[in-house]
């Protein structure tokens, strides 16, 4: 009888002939370079696998890697004949070799494959527990219907069995199973078959997974941190194939994050959304542009700028935006604003995402809960969230912990100085913060260091603004509000429950000058110059200097202008520097001192960059 061998017939015929002839090797010429670590249409960084075992090739083929017809492998496998895959259109490519004696791969995972169109049928019921023959009836019924199954997952309690198949077969499978178990369903001992559509199946394959601890933990950990829920999973005792079912909408993200985290990618990737392109944001983007190649070459980290936004303009591209020319992308990218930013980040649903806030906007800070809940890490130069109500601060920290992502805000205090990280290290190692004394406003320190007979207060404040040390509205600095926020953040990170209103304020600029419009403020500020000059001369005679000091002691906080005598650590604080003294149970007699630049776009941007590196864990 003459018959058509169907799909893969030529491959299968060649395999049979090679086996019968005892060939040294079977060559299969096709339209791809060989087996890839993943689908290159989804993961551009996927690369050709040089060699893999027969079982690895079979697993990858069965789960969607359409390189060769799966039955082709068996005839030559039993004769231990290697298969070489070559590309007809790219004959110089090395291709992939399938053989038994494959050198161990550098990584435990050889490749990732997936089936996009997956339906899952679940048969369940309390009467299934301990009953012999239930699964036989399930699979006999499906076989009689000509339905092929590619994954099975059963609970250890035997109360349910889930079967994965193509969507074309799923409804027919449900109907057949309901007929088979009609009596049990009528009695309430079993439930009607449950059908779940819109799913995808992912298979992680590799011989080195066998007896290698931690593979599953690492895999599911990274999926969880990226907000990808596993619906069902299966792994045989051979430990060479770990398969799981997820929502189809998450497939692209899942494949990318697995490929990246399991070292199948050349680089670990971090996808950034940067909001705010002013002095700090602009400096950060320049630093990223200048350091990007070095990080790839020396640290194996690839930073992708996938979104950049201001209040008026924004650009988004999941393939990346050149940080050196982000301005051009924003011009062509459409309107900005918080709502578009939120929508684009959630819709793009990119793996290993980090939102970087270089603004001082309450609207942008209000996005943090939503982003963290969707497994997007947040790096904030914006102080508003961490200094908002304690309830909101605690909720953000808790959400980040629960979602396995980061909420980092080192630059909220001291620009690039490692103040918050140091406090966290002390607390986490069992120390307790007893007292905090600090000069935390680079702006005010610059102002008081600039005062002289030739430079009155009003001129010094204007210079601080022009040199980028102050906020665009310097009243935020002069009112002490900025220092209050910083002290609140430090106290909270030290383990204290404190609100901004709990901080006592001793201010040096009257409310009648701080009130009104910004123009009115500039008009009124010179009225303080004469008194400040008189007091400055007195301080110089007494060998004292002004410092705006934040203090946390005995569970209470205060900020205010203090006269610092010669010999005090704060006396010689230069320029816009910050300084902090931490008295702890371990550092009681000699407090820990941290000092350095506390303001300026470049150092603040560098601190933000350092937080981004902390998210990457390098």
CATH number where 97 lies? 3.40.1160.10
Q: Are residues 447 and 590 in the same domain?
A: yes
What's the rounded Cα separation, in Å, for the pair 455 and 442? 18
Q: Are residues 228 and 343 in the same domain?
A: no
Position 404 in a domain: yes
Mind telling me the catalytic residues?
486
Position 447 in a domain: yes
Position 108 in a domain: no
Average pLDDT, the chain: 92
What's the rounded Cα separation, in Å, for the pair 111 and 64? 12
pLDDT digits (tens, 9 = 90+) for 198-242: 999 999 998 888 877 888 888 888 899 899 999 999 987 777 889
CATH number for the domain that contains residue 552: 3.30.360.10
What's the rounded Cα separation, in Å, for the pair 556 and 553? 5
Q: Are residues 36 and 147 in the same domain?
A: no
Q: Are residues 70 and 152 in the same domain?
A: no
Q: Are residues 405 and 306 in the same domain?
A: yes
Going by C-alpha positions, the residue among 280, 253, 610 that lies closest to residue 422 is 610
pLDDT at residue 486 above 60? yes
Q: Are residues 506 and 484 in the same domain?
A: yes
Are 227 and 375 within 8 A, CB to CB? yes
Q: Are residues 472 and 579 in the same domain?
A: yes
3-state secondary structure of 317: coil
Question: Among 103, 131, 153, which residue terminates a domain?
Answer: 103
pLDDT at 3: 60
Element (H, E) at 104: none
Q: In what order do the strands lie in the sheet with 160-165?
A: 151-154, 160-165, 111-124, 194-205, 241-247, 232-235
Q: Are residues 423 and 518 in the same domain?
A: yes
pLDDT at residue 342 above 80? yes
Residues 6 or more apart whose Cβ sits within 8 Å of residue 229: 223, 246, 247, 250
What's the rounded Cα separation, in Å, for the pair 157 and 161? 10
Are 358 and 379 within 8 A, CB to CB? no
Range of the domain at 91: 9-103
Residues 6 or more apart whose Cβ sits within 8 Å of residue 129: 157, 158, 159
Are 218 and 262 within 8 A, CB to CB? yes
What's the rounded Cα separation, in Å, for the pair 36 and 52? 11
Are 19 and 77 within 8 A, CB to CB? no
Q: Are residues 254 and 342 in the same domain?
A: no
pLDDT at 142: 96
CATH number for the domain that contains residue 249: 3.30.2130.10
Position 237 in a domain: yes
* Region 1-22 average pLDDT: 80
Position 1 in a domain: no
**Structural domain count of the chain:** 4
Pairing mode of beta strands 556-565, 544-553: antiparallel
pLDDT band for position 618 (cuts 50, 70, 90): low
pLDDT digits (tens, 9 = 90+) for 237-258: 777 889 999 999 999 999 988 8
Position 2 in a domain: no
Question: Among 103, 134, 159, which residue terminates a domain?
Answer: 103
What's the rounded Cα separation, in Å, for the pair 260 and 145? 40
Position 4 in a domain: no
Q: Are residues 425 and 409 in the same domain?
A: no
Q: Can you give the length of the chain in residues? A: 618
Are 152 and 120 within 8 A, CB to CB? no
pLDDT at 528: 96
Question: Among 103, 129, 149, which residue terminates a domain?
Answer: 103
pLDDT band for position 502 (cuts 50, 70, 90): very high
Q: Are residues 350 and 256 in the same domain?
A: no
pLDDT at 240: 84
Higher pLDDT, 335 or 235: 335
pLDDT at residue 157 above 70? yes
Lowest mean pLDDT among 136-140, 363-367, 487-491: 136-140
Cα angle vertex 253, ends 247, 257, to 5°? 125
Q: Are residues 431 and 528 in the same domain?
A: yes
The strand ranges marked E within 511-555 are 544-553
Measure the N-to-C terminal CA separation of the chain; round to a whole number of Å: 65
CATH number for the domain that contains residue 373: 3.40.50.720
């Amino acid at each position: 009888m003459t018959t058509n061998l169907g799909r893969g017939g030529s491959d299968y015929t060649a395999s049979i002939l090679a086996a019968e002839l005892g060939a040294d090797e079977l060559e299969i010429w096709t339209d791809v370079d060989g087996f890839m670590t993943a689908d290159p249409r989804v993961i551009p960084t996927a690369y050709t696998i040089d060699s893999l075992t027969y079982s690895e090739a079979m697993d990858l083929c069965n789960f969607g890697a359409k390189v060769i017809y799966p039955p082709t492998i068996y005839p030559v496998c039993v004769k231990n004949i290697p298969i070489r895959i070559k590309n007809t259109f790219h004959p110089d490519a090395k291709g992939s070799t399938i053989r038994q004696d494959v050198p161990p791969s550098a990584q435990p995972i050889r490749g990732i494959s997936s089936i996009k169109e997956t339906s899952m049928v679940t048969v369940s019921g309390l009467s299934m527990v301990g009953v012999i023959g239930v699964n036989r009836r399930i699979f006999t019924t499906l076989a009689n219907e000509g339905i092929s199954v590619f994954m099975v997952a059963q609970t250890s309690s035997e109360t349910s069995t889930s079967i994965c198949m193509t969507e074309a077969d799923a409804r027919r499978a449900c109907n057949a199973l309901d007929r088979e178990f009609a009596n049990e369903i009528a009695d309430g001992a079993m439930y009607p078959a449950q059908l779940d559509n819109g799913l995808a199946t992912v298979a992680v394959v590799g011989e080195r997974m066998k007896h290698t601890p931690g593979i599953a933990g690492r895999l599911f950990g990274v999926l969880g941190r990226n907000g990808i829920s596993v619906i069902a999973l299966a792994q045989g005792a051979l430990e060479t194939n770990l398969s799981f079912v997820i929502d189809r909408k998450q497939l692209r993200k899942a494949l990318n994050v697995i490929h990246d985290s399991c070292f199948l990618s050349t680089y670990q990737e971090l996808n950034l959304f940067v909001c705010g392109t002013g002095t700090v944001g602009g400096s950060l983007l320049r630093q990223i542009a200048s350091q990007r190649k070095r990080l790839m070459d020396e640290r194996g980290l690839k930073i992708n700028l996938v979104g950049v936004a201001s209040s008026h303009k924004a650009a988004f591209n999941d393939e990346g935006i050149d940080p050196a020319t982000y301005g051009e992308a924003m011009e062509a990218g459409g309107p900005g604003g918080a709502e578009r930013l939120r929508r684009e980040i959630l819709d793009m649903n990119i793996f290993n995402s980090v939102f970087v806030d270089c603004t001082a906007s309450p609207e942008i800070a209000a996005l943090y809960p939503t982003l963290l809940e969707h497994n997007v890490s947040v790096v904030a130069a914006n102080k508003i969230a961490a200094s908002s109500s304690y309830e909101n601060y605690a909720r953000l920290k808790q959400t980040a912990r629960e979602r396995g992502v980061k909420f980092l805000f080192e630059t909220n205090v001291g620009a690039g100085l490692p103040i918050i990280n140091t406090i966290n290290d002390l607390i986490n190692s069992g120390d307790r913060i007893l007292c905090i004394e600090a000069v935390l406003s680079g702006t005010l320190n610059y102002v008081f260091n600039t005062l002289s007979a030739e430079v009155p207060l009003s001129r010094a404040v204007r210079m601080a603004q022009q040199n980028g040390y102050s906020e665009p509205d310097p009243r935020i600095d002069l009112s002490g509000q900025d220092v209050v926020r910083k002290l609140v953040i430090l106290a909270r990170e030290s383990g204290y429950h404190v609100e901004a209103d709990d901080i006592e304020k001793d201010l040096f600029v009257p409310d009648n000058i701080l009130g009104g419009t910004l123009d009115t403020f500039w008009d009124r500020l010179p009225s303080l110059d004469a008194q400040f000059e008189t007091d400055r001369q007195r301080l110089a005679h007494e060998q004292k200097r002004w410092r705006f000091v934040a203090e946390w002691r005995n569970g209470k906080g205060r900020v205010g202008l203090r006269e610092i005598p010669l010999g005090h650590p704060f006396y010689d604080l230069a320029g816009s520097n910050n300084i902090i003294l931490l008295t702890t149970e371990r550092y009681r007699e000699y407090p820990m001192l941290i000092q350095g630049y506390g303001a300026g776009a470049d150092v603040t941007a560098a601190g933000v960059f350092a937080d981004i590196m902390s998210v990457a864990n390098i």
